Amino acid sequence: MSKRLQRRNSDQRHTLRIERNNTERPIELVQITDSHLGGQPGEELLGMDTDQSLAHVIDLIEAERPSAELLLATGDISNGGSPASYLRFQQLTGHLAPHILWLPGNHDALPAMQQTFAGDPALGRNIEVGNWQIIMLNSATPGEVGGNFSAGELEFLQHCLETTEAEHVLLCMHHHPIPIGCDWLDGQQVRNADAFFALVDQFSSVRGILWGHIHQELDQQRNSVSLMATPSSCIQFAANSPDFKLARLNPGYRWLSLHADGAIDTGISRVTGVEFDIDYEHSSGY
């Protein structure tokens, strides 16, 4: 292994500490996911202008969550992985919270993300805030649509869980680790979810697992862990559909309040009063 790679690997393990002004309040997070921004402003996904829909979601967050402390972007930030799309996302969303964290999805290009954030902690993966640890996982494999954790990624997760001094843990990733009832999407579920959960189950500190990719809301409990997925900031996929199908639901985001006792309050919010131009009859995927 080269010296450079060794350093990068050890940097990833390094815990970033986010200092808070008011430690009495719960930690306020917002999650934006699957923005699918194009290389140029105004590019469309199934007829939808993904910059325009993101702008509406940003307006909503500004109105509803002015005291967000941390913005999580959980993958498919870009539709094609162009540096210009990451720069635009950064410029459009950077003011929503004092701290931002990104992780890659299957449409993203990690090298372009790293280029956008040279020297910036936005791609930090092991973050301590209050008595919580937020671990940003990479479930994407270049060239593949579906999710999987590499052996190195599971080893990274184990290291973070074993060494954290925080009492409570939130895991963030792009792909879904459980089947969600859409056959076409369930083929893209994290392939080695069994190994992932076998690891997670050893640590009672894990309180929540949060992801994107499925472009729909999901709130479930597994043992005492909250499982959460979030509407995209652009097109929405229909729940419980065996085949690819769009839902007539507006874009949205998720808010989370992480309490010092380990409780998570959370919910989603969708844009209202706007009718988006979308090719709803499109039936062959995206």
Q: Which residues bind Fe ion (CB under 5 A)?
A: 76, 105-106, 213
Of 124, 117, 114, 63, the residue nearest 94 (C-alpha): 117
Which residue number, 206 or 235, has a Cβ lying nearer to Fe ion? 235
Distance of closest approach, residue 5 Cβ to Fe ion, in angstroms: 27
SS (H, E, C) 161-184: HHHCCCCEEEEECCCCCCCCCCHH
Which residue number, 51 or 76, has a Cβ lying nearer to Fe ion? 76
Distance of closest approach, residue 235 Cβ to Fe ion, in angstroms: 11
CB 76 within 8 A of CB 124: no
Which residue number, 38 or 105, has a Cβ lying nearer to Fe ion? 105
Which residue number, 168 or 213, has a Cβ lying nearer to Fe ion? 213
3-state secondary structure of 277: coil
Helix (H) or strand (E) holding 265: strand 264-270
247: left (phi over 0), alpha (psi -120 to 50) or beta: beta
Q: Cβ contacts of residue 56 below 8 Å, gap of 6+?
A: 251, 271, 274
Which residue number, 90 or 106, has a Cβ lying nearer to Fe ion? 106
Residue recorded with tokens 């909250």: 226
Q: What is the DSSP letter of 239?
A: T
Which residue number, 191 or 213, has a Cβ lying nearer to Fe ion? 213
Which residue number, 113 or 258, has a Cβ lying nearer to Fe ion? 113
Distance of closest approach, residue 248 Cβ to Fe ion, in angstroms: 21
Distance of closest approach, residue 267 Cβ to Fe ion, in angstroms: 22
Distance of closest approach, residue 286 Cβ to Fe ion, in angstroms: 9
Question: How far is residue 89's CA from residue 82's CA, in Å, rounded to a whole number?
Answer: 11
For residue 76, give both structure tokens.
Answer: 């498919």
CB 233 within 8 A of CB 15: no
Question: How far is residue 156's CA from residue 132's CA, in Å, rounded to a whole number?
Answer: 17
Distance of closest approach, residue 107 Cβ to Fe ion, in angstroms: 6
Of 237, 269, 210, the residue nearest 57 (C-alpha): 269
Distance of closest approach, residue 182 Cβ to Fe ion, in angstroms: 13
Residue whose CB is nearest to Fe ion in the complex, by number: 213
Residue recorded with tokens 């990690």: 110
